[in-house]
Structure 1
């Protein structure tokens, strides 16, 4: 790639955008000598694509928007881009329903600007630079009361609403309540109802965030938000991905045989965005786990082994049990009485 035209030549007016906003920027570069060229175009596009097998013909991308503009064209018949500094502005509007930037194991959503310098009898010069798009935020949607029973429609769901953690010393019951929605990047409170039925104090809990993604090989007529019930063939027309993207250890102090209600503040990265389009769906769910200490397993094993040693070393006790069993088996039945 020529040094005069590279990714740094494409400059955006800000680092991230939201759906429905206008993207402004410019393409700037400098040439020391005239360059053989016909015209210079700037193209912009938002596109979603999936792929998980060797057959590329099975996969069709989803185009959200596209456009281009010819910003320079040779008019004097010399077919030369003059030497000197060049700067060409560009501006375009993002659709309100376009999906945000995303990259998963089997698919991605990409927004980019590409500059092409068309040249006669030579390879064209192309430079591509992506930019970040986040989902649109509607006013009044983010300040709802905490809920735990809406399973697929919210940016952060509570799949682990009520459950038990089984340990060697007993059971710990947990109930996790999350806000229905939250503003990306802001702090929010989670509510924990802990019932420690075990014999040891509970000193820590781990808050996990899992990302669940559902992919289609081809765009469908409408978004498939509930991927668990997708009618398409698994592995051929659709597939799924579950990935842990966040893990936070929370310090707690819940004594044995005690119930407590705790509140903790959580901060999630600003790239956690739930969206659903005709090609893929992305959502997030939360769960809680408690540590299982190795000392519990060691103690359990030692007690079990000690019991075996006592049983093997105490031969009289074993003989007594055997004698009682033999006496019962060899004794005659009681006399018959009418």
Structure 2
């Protein structure tokens, strides 16, 4: 038993906090013998780190000559605070055998980005407790804190405006025009929250002899890492496929894409990682004809837009109900 078998315990039981909140908890351990040290301190650090590696190979006369590797790195800190729980850098302390608990508190700055784990980078918040003995390697314990940065859609410009996409495609067979297709896709607004549905209206007019086998609708998340270049990872969060639109027909659809309940990361205040969400529409024609796609950016927030409700009756004035943002879903 001892410090090495101890633990960091957060008062809220989860280690998940919002920006602007106070992190509080305890360092707990049991000692079997007397322990002499300078001090015990905790460091709370928030940072972004981006890293990936690329290979440039030189080939001469069909033979590989050499391969040069390039490391792409970026780093920034949001805070780095140190606080002594007992003792000091120049002090000398002694604790007796038994059970020991030391409390700590930190205020999370309100402008931090959300925690994130990506393939080429991450945003992390680490709480480290250290027993300072003046040795080269002082014993320490570390715990990760998950920070959520709320994003109020009501403060973002243009997200309450409707969205419209028009896709057009002309088909040719042996250099002769064989038809065309036009699809109009409409969304009532450009801002949503996890768990909400995105209502989508699709109208597709197919003129000619080429059937449209399917219309695919996707909600796509794109994470871009910046470090002497860029690297992007994409993930399809949800997808729907509409039925065929035969030749010389017009069809209309009304569907919904549900925003996954686990997807809401606000990294606006991070310089080296960007997150974008897009609704992507793809028309897939029959045969050898290429598909055509178009997308529009939407914003995924944590506090939903305020929306008016319909009038309760014809004789009453329409009222607007504001949701309780204190009970909004933060994921």
Give the TM-score of the pair, scaled to structure 1. 0.63
- Counterpart of 2:160 in structure 1 is 145
C-alpha deviation, 1:12, in angstroms: 5.0
- Counterpart of 2:38 in structure 1 is 38
- Counterpart of 1:186 in structure 2 is 195
Bigger Rg over Cα = 1
1:163 corresponds to 2:154 = no
Report the CA distance shift for 1:213/1:250 in structure 2 as closer, same or farther (over 3 A).
Answer: same
- Counterpart of 1:70 in structure 2 is 84
- Counterpart of 1:207 in structure 2 is 218
What SS does the corresponding residue of 1:140 show, helix, strand or coil?
Answer: helix
Greater fraction of residues in helix: 1
Match of 2:111 among 80, 94, 97: 97
- Counterpart of 1:247 in structure 2 is 238
C-alpha deviation, 1:39, in angstroms: 1.6
State whether residues 196 and 258 of structure 1, in contact with CA within 8 Å, keep that contact through their aligned partners in structure 2: yes
C-alpha deviation, 1:59, in angstroms: 4.1
Cα distance between partner residues in 1 of 2:83 and 2:235: 42
C-alpha deviation, 1:260, in angstroms: 0.6
What SS does the corresponding residue of 1:91 show, helix, strand or coil?
Answer: strand
Aligned pair count?
Answer: 260
Match of 1:289 among 279, 282, 288: 282
- Counterpart of 1:111 in structure 2 is 125
- Counterpart of 1:10 in structure 2 is 9
- Point out where structure 2 has 5 or more consecutive residues left out of the alignment: 54-68, 289-331
What SS does the corresponding residue of 1:61 show, helix, strand or coil?
Answer: strand
What SS does the corresponding residue of 2:218 show, helix, strand or coil?
Answer: strand
Cα distance between partner residues in 2 of 1:166 and 1:33: 82
Cα distance between partner residues in 2 of 1:187 and 1:109: 26
C-alpha deviation, 1:254, in angstroms: 5.7
Greater fraction of residues in strand: 2
What SS does the corresponding residue of 1:275 show, helix, strand or coil?
Answer: coil
Cα distance between partner residues in 2 of 1:187 and 1:50: 31
1:280 corresponds to 2:273 = yes
State whether residues 204 and 291 of structure 1, in contact with CA within 8 Å, keep that contact through their aligned partners in structure 2: yes
Cα distance between partner residues in 2 of 1:6 and 1:285: 46
What SS does the corresponding residue of 1:96 show, helix, strand or coil?
Answer: coil
C-alpha deviation, 1:63, in angstroms: 1.1
Report the CA distance shift for 1:166/1:17 in structure 2 as closer, same or farther (over 3 A).
Answer: farther
- Counterpart of 2:99 in structure 1 is 85
Give the TM-score of the pair, scaled to structure 2. 0.64
RMSD: 3.7
Cα distance between partner residues in 2 of 1:181 and 1:287: 15
